[in-house]
Amino acid sequence: MVLAQLGGSISRALQQMSNATVIDEKVLNECLNEISRALLQSDVQFKLVRDMQTNIKKIVNLDDLAAGHNKRKIIQQIGVDKVLGQTVLLYWEGVSPNGVAIFNELCKILDPGKPSFTPKKGKTSVIMFVGLQGCGKTTSCTKYAYYHQKKGWKPALVCADTFRAGAFDQLKQNATKAKIPFYGSYMESDPATIAVEGVERFKKENCDLIIVDTSGRHKQEAALFEEMRQVSEATKPDLVIFVMDSSIGQAAFDQAQAFKKSVSVGAVIVTKMDGHAKGGGALSAVAATKSPVIFIGTGEHMDEFEVFDAKPFVSRLLGMGDLSGFMDKLQDVVPMDQQPELLEKLSEGFTLRILYEQYQNLLKMGPIGFSSELMPQGRENENQAKIKRCMTIMDSMTNEELDSVNTKLMNESRMMRIARGSGRTVREVMEMLEEYKRIAKAWSKMKGLQNLRRRPNM
Ligand code: GDP
């Protein structure tokens, strides 16, 4: 079952439960069984699925269910009591009263913890990639370099794979396409020597992310692990990234463990998440080894590469967009006394002005506002700069534009005027509007929002 299908099956199961008039133990069990079936078909370990079932049943008070309590009671039981929290639950009610519990449990299954080391822009870090042959290691090295290059880093690639004929050419070709400096040798056969030469050269050139691609083998064997250790000892990498093909599903658990035992793996990249039935299984299996998955590969192209973060990932899986993160954030930053007012305004529609006000709240909070799970750590400044940029753009909008509940108004000449006024490019204005549309769409999904004023005591 590919991931999109898995998401669809879970959403359908939740929907069915929410359609039931009374949620009793039978309805809950049917829903959980349906979800469990979908997870098992995606190759998620039986134990994880069973634990999820047990945990959800613990959260949801079965006695209440037996007494036939209504949905609202059950929602309250999940225990989020802030006004905005209730909004999330109202949204979730459209999907399922127990959606929050299920969402959290799915996140738990996929949450692998934090990487052992996070490189810092402007400070040299050596990152060594390891993995079996064909797992997508060379492709991921370039994707990783390209991802950081786009964010203003100065990456470089070193090919220390002397085992596979053509490895250097492949890396060279990828690197050239992405305009990333590379180092390798057709003559030298000792991978550790090449790795050291490459690392030295790029240190002198002040590259801040020196990526060393090592050899793979068809299977885990002593020679592979020995070579990995030699390259690691010679280059003293700050971070070793283990690359793994997701199509192996649950077997990912053993493979990740074996690599962890041989070299100090600090992070994992799971590749080929596009179109593979066992992607969910692979991700959960890696998470079960407590190895932090930092990126997933979603295609052969350079930019088919995504930061992996369990919460937004599960949100997307369930078709919620990044709503959970956004809600977390808003709940944190909107002062309690402003929340009812905000909800009132929101029930009329999500305007650019509302977004502006929420950005103001975020900025007022300073760094704390930017350090949630929603915004990856170490990127606080980047996030802050992005928000300020969006606000500058909005400063050049008219009241009519700010109070409109959609972007239909925004024709080319308006966008050009806004760009000129804010000293930004039209492209940046368009990007800002896209961001707004994304958030507004997430809000519009909250089916219960319209009923809010009718249900003040919820
Ligand atoms: P290596 O031997 O581990 O270095 O593997 P390569 O980087 O050469 O990749 C092996 C094959 O997998 C190539 O055909 C890549 O294009 C392909 N590949 C790598 N990552 C992905 C991915 O995320 N999705 C898909 N569909 N293919 C990938």
pLDDT tens-digit readout, 145-191: 999 998 899 999 999 998 887 888 999 999 999 999 999 988 888 99
Of all protein residues, the one whose alpha carbon is nearest to atom 6 of ligand 1 is 136
Q: Exposed, middle or buried, 141 (CB in 10 Å: 0-12/13-18/19+)?
A: buried
Per-residue confidence (pLDDT) for residue 438, from 0 to 100: 74
Per-residue confidence (pLDDT) for residue 313, from 0 to 100: 78
Closest to 290 measured CA to CA, from 140, 45, 109, 43: 109
Residues with CB under 6 A from ligand 1: 131, 133-139, 216, 271-272, 274, 297-300
Residue 24 scores a pLDDT above 80: no
Please give the distance, rounded to the nearest whole angstrom, from the Cα atom of residue 166 to the centre of ligand 1.
14
Closest to 415 measured CA to CA, from 393, 390, 400: 393
Please give the distance, rounded to the nearest whole angstrom, from the Cα atom of residue 113 to the centre of ligand 1.
25
CA 241 from chain centre, in angstroms, equals 17
In this prediction, residues 123-128 reach a mean pLDDT of 96
Which atom of ligand 1 is found nearest the CA of 167?
4
Which residue among 278, 300, 304 is best mutated to probe the pocket of ligand 1, counting the most ligand atoms within 8 A of its Cβ? Answer: 300
Please give the distance, rounded to the nearest whole angstrom, from the Cα atom of residue 300 to the centre of ligand 1.
6
Which atom of ligand 1 is found nearest the CA of 132?
3
Q: How far apart are CA 421 and CA 395, in angstroms?
A: 9
Closest to 307 measured CA to CA, from 333, 269, 349: 269
Sheet holding 265-271, edge to edge: 182-183, 155-160, 209-214, 125-130, 239-245, 265-271, 293-297, 305-307
Per-residue confidence (pLDDT) for residue 65, from 0 to 100: 59
Please give the distance, rounded to the nearest whole angstrom, from the Cα atom of residue 234 to the centre of ligand 1.
27
Bridge-based pairing state of the strands 125-130 and 155-160? unpaired
**Model's pTM, two decimal places?**
0.67
Residue type, 252: A
CA 54 from chain centre, in angstroms, equals 26
- List the domains of the chain with CATH numbers: 3-110 (1.20.120.140), 125-309 (3.40.50.300), 323-454 (1.10.260.30)
Distances (CA, A) of 6 to 55, 197, 394: 20, 46, 39
Please give the distance, rounded to the nearest whole angstrom, from the Cα atom of residue 156 to the centre of ligand 1.
20
ipTM: 0.99
Closest to 125 measured CA to CA, from 202, 217, 52: 202
Please give the distance, rounded to the nearest whole angstrom, from the Cα atom of residue 272 to the centre of ligand 1.
7
Per-residue confidence (pLDDT) for residue 324, from 0 to 100: 43
